[in-house]
Structure formats: C-alpha cells, structure tokens
Amino acid sequence: MEVLRQTLEQHWHDRQLVILQDFPDPDALSCAWAYQLIAQQYDIQCDIVYASTLSHQENIALVKLTGLPAQRWTIQTTKSKDLSVYQGCALIDNQGNN
C-alpha cells in the first residue's frame, strides 16, 4: 500500500487515462472506478475508457444504474482526442500478446 501511495503522490494534479480491456466485465469496470476514486484523493483526474462495447446486459446495467463514468472511445473518437492533456495512463485488466 505504501508503494501505491508514493506512486500516486508523484502524480499529484495529473490527468490520467484509465484504459479498460475490450468488452469490459464487472471486475474491470469496478477496478477502474475504484482506481479513479482513490486517485481523486491525490487530485488526479481520471477518464475511464474502453474501445469495444459493453457486451452483456448485466454490464450495461452496472454502468447505467451506478452512473459509473466509463466512456466508449472508438478508433475515430481516439483520433479526434488531444491525448497530450494526459500525463499518464493506467491499464486495467489488460493482457499482453506475447
């Protein structure tokens, strides 16, 4: 926990992009939101994004009923965004493709 606190303190006042896996599941959505809430305590602003769709009714309901602040960014959306406003990113529930 101390390492996380120190890391967040180093990014005080940053704006970060929180990137979810494609077709985010409840675990990914909840983890991203938890990170956003923790980061707020260090004045870190987080935008939660995902590329694909919310694929199951329970995932759609989770986002709608809780007001979970996740946004869908398509490739076209990403091309129109000024990503230089972000000082970093957090990858949630992602895998490498080695």
CATH at residue 78: 3.40.50
98 lies in some domain: no
Element (H, E) at 32: helix 26-40
Q: Which range of residues forms the domain containing residue 82?
A: 2-92
pLDDT of residue 59: 87
Cα(72)–Cα(75) distance, integer angstroms: 10
Does the pTM exceed 0.85? yes
pLDDT higher than 60, residue 97:
no
Q: Is 13 a domain residue? A: yes
Q: Is 67 domain-assigned?
A: yes
Q: Is 55 helix (H, G, I), strand (E, B) or coil?
A: coil
Residue 75 is assigned to a structural domain of this protein: yes
The pLDDT assigned to 55 comes to 84
pLDDT, one tens digit per residue, over 39-63 is 999 999 999 999 888 888 988 898 9
The answer to whether position 24 is within a domain reads yes
Is pLDDT above 70 for 30?
yes
Residue 97 maps to a domain: no
* Rounded distance between C-alpha atoms, residue 89 and residue 46, angstroms: 9
Closest CA to 70 of 54, 84, 89, 58: 54
* Number of domains the chain is built from: 1
